[in-house]
C-alpha cells in the first residue's frame, strides 16, 4: 500500500522532462522526511515537555488523596406503579422509556438527597462537607479565589447572615450529595446504577445503600399516600351517595302520598335510585380493593445488589495519571514545536535557497575557531613567486585577521570546497570583456560578505590567477581596516586623480593577492558619488585588461544603493546570507523587485553555518546529513 493511499501528502519522485525544469516552489509539499527532520529539530521541547508532564502526573498522583468507589443496582418495575389500573390478560403491559426516565429524575431529585442526608446526618460530617483535596485542585482553587477577589474588588452591600439552622445545613449537604452521586441507566434495561466516590470507604457504601433504600421507601410512602387519599375520597363519595339515596327515598314517599300519585315522577326517581345503588356498590367494592392494596407494602422496584465497603481505593490510578499527564505534556511540547517551526524564517539548507529565490546554491561557510586556525600556517608566496616559509606566513596571518585566510589555512575544509564551487560557477559563466568582475554582497551588514570576498580572492590568487580584491564598501571599509592598509594611496585618491593604480595597490604575501583599499579618512562624508564618476568606469576597464579576476567587496544590497550604481560594471554578484538569520522573504522580495540585480546574482552562499545543527534541518538522505561526518 502506498503512503499516498493513506491520505498522507507524500509525493513520489517525478523525473519527467517537463517537471525537471519546474521550480520546486511551484509544487513543494511537506514530505515524511520534512516531518522527521522537524521532529529531530524539536526533539528537546517534545522530550522535555513530555518528561515534565510525566513528572507532574506522578506528583499529582502522590498528592491526591485516595478515593473509594461504591455502587448499588436497583431494578425499576413500573408495572407496580399503576395504582388505579388493572392489567388484564388481553391487554399486555408495555414498558416505555418515559416511565424509566421519570424514575431517574426521582433519584436525582433534591428531596431524595435531603432524605439521605438526614438519615446519615451528612450535615454533621466534615469528611463529607469538606473532603481532602489534591495539591493541584488546592492550587487551582487558590488561583480562582484570587481572580474572583480581583474581579469583585468593588464594595458590595453586606449579605445577610447565613442560616445556621439544621434544615439549612441538611439542604447544603443535600446539594453536595446531589452533585456527587451518579445515577446512570445500565444499557437498555430498566436497571439503574447508583454510584458514589468519596474519601471514606464505609461512608461511600452507606450513602449508596441509603440512597437505594430511600428511593424504594419514598415510592412506598408515595403509594400509601395515594392509596389513603383515594380511599378517603371514595369513603366521602360513598357517604354522599347514601345521603342522596335517602333523599330520593323521602321524595318518592312524598309522591306516593299524593292523590293521585305522580307515576311518571316516581319512575324517574326509581331509575335514579337504581343508578345510585349501582354506583354505590361499585365504589364500595373499589374501596375495599384499595384498602386491601394499601395494607400490603409493595414497591415498584427492588435492590438487585447492595454496595459493599470497598477494600482498596479506586482513584487515583497511577497508569491513568501518568498516561494523561504524559499525553498532555506531549501535546504542549507539540504546540511549542509548531510555534518554533512557524517562527523559522531564515535559510537553513541549500534547498531553501533554490525554492525561495530560484537562484543556485553555491555552498556553506561554517563557523570556525579562527584562534586555532591562526596557529596553522600555509606555504606563503611572495611578490616574486618564492616561498617565504611558515614563520613569515604565520606572522602575516596573526598580524592581520585570520578569518580572511581560512581558505588557505585549511585547504581541505568545507569553506575551501565551497569557494572552489563558487569559482567553478564563475568560470562556467565567462564574459567577452576580459577579466571577470565579481561582486560579493549581502542583504544587510554583518552577514560575513567581507570574509567571503577575502577568502574567495585569496583562494583564486593562490591558484595562480591574477586576482585583485577591491574594497568598495565606502561606508564601512572593514576590509581595509582588517588588512591594516590605512595609510597611503587608495581607491578614492585614484578616482580623484591624485594617485595612480600602482601607488594604491597592496600585495598580500601569503597568497600573492593584490588589494586596492579604501581609506575612510579619504572619503570623510562616505559619499557614494565617487562611484558614479566616469573615472570609476575607466578604472574597471583598465583592471579587466590587467587581471584575470577582480573581486569587489560591495556594500549590502538591502540598505545601500552603491551596488546598483556599480551594476553595469559588474559581471556577476555572489550573494552572502547568514545561516539562520537572513529572512528568506527579505531576499526573495528584493530579487523580485530588483530584476536587474537578480539577473546578475550568480548564486547564494550561506555563511556562519553551525555544522552540528545543520543536519537537523535536512531531509533524511540529503547530502547535508553527511557534511558533519566528512568535514567534522
The separation between the first and the last C-alpha atoms of the chain, rounded to the nearest angstrom, is: 40
pLDDT, residue 88, reads: 41
**pLDDT class of 8 with cuts at 50, 70, 90:** very low
626 and 503 in a single domain? The answer is yes
269 shares a domain with 255: yes
Q: What is the pLDDT of residue 382?
A: 41
Distance separating alpha carbons of residues 475 and 478, to the nearest angstrom: 9
Tens digits of residue pLDDT in 101-116: 888 898 899 999 999 9
Q: Is the pLDDT of residue 95 over 60?
A: no
Let me know whether 437 and 512 are in one domain.
Answer: yes
Q: Answer yes or no: do 416 and 321 share one domain.
A: no
Cell reading at 103: 424514575
Closest CA to 100 of 187, 222, 190: 190
Comparing CA positions, the residue from 446, 426, 422 lying closest to residue 435 is 426
Nearest-10 Cα torsion for 611, 614, 619, 624: -30
Predicted local distance difference test score (pLDDT) of residue 205: 92
For residues 43 and 73, state if they share a domain: no
Domain count for the chain, please give it: 3
What band does 391 get if pLDDT is binned at 50, 70 and 90? very low
Angle between helices 318-342 and 32-41 (to 10 degrees): 100
The candidate with the shortest Cα–Cα distance to 104, out of 181, 203, 171, is 181
Tell me which of 15-29, 122-136, 352-366 is least confident. Answer: 15-29
- Residue 584, domain CATH: 3.40.50.300
Structure confidence at residue 579 as a pLDDT band (50, 70, 90): very high
Domain identity same for 297 and 400: no
For residue 587, list its beta bridge partners: none
Taking alpha carbons only, the member of 464, 380, 465, 452 closest to residue 416 is: 452
Residue 373: pLDDT band with limits 50, 70, 90: low
Residues 452 and 578 in one domain: yes
Domain containing residue 73: 68-81+95-142+165-305
Residue 38 — very low, low, confident or very high, per pLDDT cuts 50/70/90? confident
For residue range 164-217, what is the model confidence (pLDDT) as tens digits?
678 888 999 999 999 999 999 998 888 999 999 999 999 999 999 999 998 888
If asked whether residues 335 and 187 sit together in one domain, one would say no
Query: 18-27, 569-578, 623-632 — which is least confidently predicted?
Result: 18-27
- pLDDT tens-place string over residues 137-147: 778 877 887 88
In a domain, residue 258? The reply is: yes
Residues 288 and 336 in one domain: no
Lookup: cell for 43: 526533539
Residue 149 forms part of a structural domain: no
Q: What pLDDT score was predicted for residue 509?
A: 83
Measured distance CA(631)–CA(629) in Å, rounded: 6
**In CATH, what number is assigned to the domain containing residue 204?**
3.30.1890
Q: For the sheet with 68-76, list strands across it.
A: 182-185, 191-198, 68-76, 301-305
Give a yes or no: residue 504 inside a domain. Answer: yes
User: What pLDDT score does 525 carry?
Assistant: 54
Q: How many other C-beta atoms can be found within 10 angstroms of the C-beta atom of residue 568? A: 10
Strands (DSSP E) contained in 399-448 are: 436-442
Cα separation, 217 vs 116, whole angstroms: 11
Residues with Cβ within 8 Å of residue 353, at least 6 apart in sequence:
347, 359, 360, 361, 577, 604, 606
Q: Considering the domain boundaries, does residue 9 fall inside one?
A: no
Say whether both 289 and 327 belong to one domain: no
Number of H helices, E strands in the chain: 26, 12
Least reliable range by pLDDT among 12-16, 253-257, 373-377: 12-16
Do 134 and 54 belong to one domain?
no
Tens of pLDDT, residues 459-517: 999 999 999 999 988 888 888 888 888 888 888 889 888 889 999 999 888 888 999 99
> Considering the domain boundaries, does residue 262 fall inside one?
yes
Predicted confidence band of residue 457 (pLDDT cuts 50, 70, 90): very high
* Residue (of 421, 427, 478, 486) closest to 450 by Cα position: 478
Q: Are residues 334 and 355 in the same domain?
A: no
157, part of any domain? no
Cell numbers found for residue 55: 513528572
Q: What is the pLDDT of residues 264-297, one digit of tens each?
A: 887 888 888 888 888 888 888 887 887 776 666 6
Q: What percent of the chain has pLDDT over 70?
A: 82
How many Cβ atoms sit within 10 Å of the Cβ of residue 344? 14
- The C-alpha cell at 603 is 548564486
Cα distance between residue 528 and residue 88, in whole Å = 112
Chain mean position to CA 255: 99
4 within domain boundaries: no
Report the Cα 531 to chain-centroid distance in Å: 53
Predicted pLDDT of residue 234 = 83
Quick check: is 320 in a domain? yes
Amino acid at each position: 500500500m502506498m503512503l499516498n493511499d493513506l491520505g498522507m501528502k507524500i509525493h513520489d519522485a517525478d523525473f519527467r522532462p517537463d517537471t525537471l525544469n519546474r521550480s520546486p516552489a511551484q509544487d513543494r509539499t511537506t514530505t515524511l522526511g520534512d516531518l522527521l527532520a522537524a521532529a529531530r529539530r524539536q526533539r528537546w521541547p517534545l522530550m522535555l515537555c513530555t518528561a515534565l508532564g510525566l513528572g507532574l502526573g506522578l506528583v499529582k498522583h502522590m498528592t491526591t488523596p485516595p478515593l473509594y468507589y461504591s455502587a448499588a443496582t436497583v431494578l425499576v418495575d413500573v408495572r407496580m406503579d399503576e395504582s388505579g389500573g388493572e392489567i388484564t390478560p388481553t391487554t399486555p403491559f408495555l414498558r416505555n422509556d418515559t416511565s424509566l426516565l421519570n424514575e431517574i429524575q426521582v433519584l436525582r431529585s433534591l428531596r431524595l438527597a435531603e432524605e439521605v442526608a438526614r438519615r446519615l446526618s451528612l450535615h454533621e460530617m466534615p469528611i463529607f462537607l469538606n473532603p481532602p483535596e489534591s495539591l493541584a485542585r488546592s492550587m487551582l482553587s487558590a488561583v480562582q479565589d484570587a481572580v474572583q477577589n480581583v474581579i469583585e474588588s468593588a464594595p458590595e452591600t453586606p449579605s445577610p447572615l447565613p442560616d445556621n439552622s439544621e434544615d439549612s445545613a441538611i439542604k447544603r449537604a443535600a446539594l453536595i450529595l446531589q452533585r456527587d452521586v451518579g445515577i446512570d441507566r445500565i444499557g437498555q434495561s430498566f436497571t439503574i446504577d447508583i454510584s458514589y466516590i468519596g474519601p471514606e470507604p464505609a461512608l461511600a457504601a452507606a450513602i449508596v445503600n441509603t440512597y437505594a433504600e430511600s428511593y424504594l421507601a419514598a415510592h412506598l410512602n408515595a403509594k400509601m399516600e395515594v392509596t389513603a387519599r383515594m380511599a378517603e375520597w371514595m369513603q366521602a363519595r360513598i357517604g354522599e351517595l347514601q345521603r342522596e339515596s335517602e333523599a330520593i327515598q323521602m321524595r318518592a314517599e312524598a309522591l306516593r302520598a299524593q292523590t293521585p300519585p305522580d307515576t311518571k315522577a316516581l319512575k324517574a326517581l326509581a331509575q335514579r335510585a337504581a343508578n345510585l345503588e349501582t354506583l354505590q356498590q361499585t365504589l364500595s367494592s373499589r374501596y375495599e380493593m384499595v384498602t386491601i392494596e394499601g395494607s400490603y407494602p409493595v414497591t415498584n422496584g427492588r435492590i438487585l445488589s447492595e454496595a459493599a465497603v470497598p477494600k482498596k481505593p479506586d482513584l487515583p490510578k497511577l497508569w491513568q495519571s501518568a498516561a494523561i499527564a504524559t499525553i498532555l505534556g506531549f501535546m504542549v511540547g507539540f504546540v511549542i514545536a509548531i510555534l518554533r517551526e512557524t517562527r523559522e524564517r531564515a535559510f537553513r539548507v541549500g534547498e531553501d535557497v533554490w525554492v525561495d529565490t530560484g537562484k543556485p546554491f553555491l555552498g556553506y561557510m561554517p563557523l570556525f575557531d579562527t584562534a586555532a586556525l591562526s596557529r596553522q600556517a600555509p606555504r606563503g608566496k611572495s611578490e616574486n613567486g618564492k616561498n617565504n616559509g611558515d614563520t613569515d606566513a604565520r606572522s602575516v596571518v596573526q598580524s592581520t585577521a585570520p578569518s580572511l585566510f581560512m581558505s588557505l589555512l585549511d585547504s581541505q575544509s568545507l569553506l575551501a570546497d565551497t569557494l572552489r564551487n563558487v569559482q567553478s560557477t564563475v568560470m562556467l559563466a565567462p564574459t567577452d570583456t576580459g577579466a571577470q568582475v565579481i561582486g560579493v554582497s549581502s542583504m544587510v551588514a554583518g552577514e560575513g560578505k567581507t570574509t567571503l570576498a577575502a577568502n574567495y580572492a585569496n583562494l583564486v590568487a593562490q591558484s595562480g590567477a591574477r586576482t585583485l580584491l577591491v574594497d568598495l564598501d565606502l561606508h564601512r571599509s572593514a576590509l581595509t581596516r582588517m588588512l591594516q592598509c590605512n595609510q597611503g594611496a587608495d581607491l578614492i585618491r585614484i578616482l580623484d586623480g591624485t594617485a595612480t593604480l600602482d601607488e594604491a595597490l597592496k600585495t598580500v604575501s601569503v597568497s600573492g593577492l593584490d588589494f586596492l583599499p579604501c581609506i575612510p579618512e579619504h572619503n570623510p562624508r562616505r559619499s557614494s558619488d565617487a562611484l558614479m564618476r566616469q573615472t570609476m568606469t575607466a578604472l574597471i576597464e583598465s583592471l579587466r585588461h590587467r587581471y584575470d579576476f577582480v573581486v569587489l567587496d560591495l556594500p549590502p544590497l538591502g540598505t545601500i544603493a552603491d551596488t546598483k550604481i556599480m551594476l553595469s560594471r559588474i559581471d556577476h554578484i555572489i550573494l552572502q546570507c547568514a545561516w539562520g538569520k537572513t529572512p528568506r522573504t527579505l531576499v526573495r522580495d528584493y530579487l523580485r523587485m530588483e530584476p536587474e540585480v537578480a539577473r546578475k546574482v550568480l548564486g547564494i552562499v550561506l555563511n556562519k553555518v553551525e555544522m552540528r545543527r545543520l543536519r537537523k534541518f535536512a531531509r533524511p538522505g540529503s547530502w547535508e546529513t553527511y557534511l558533519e561526518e566528512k568535514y567534522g
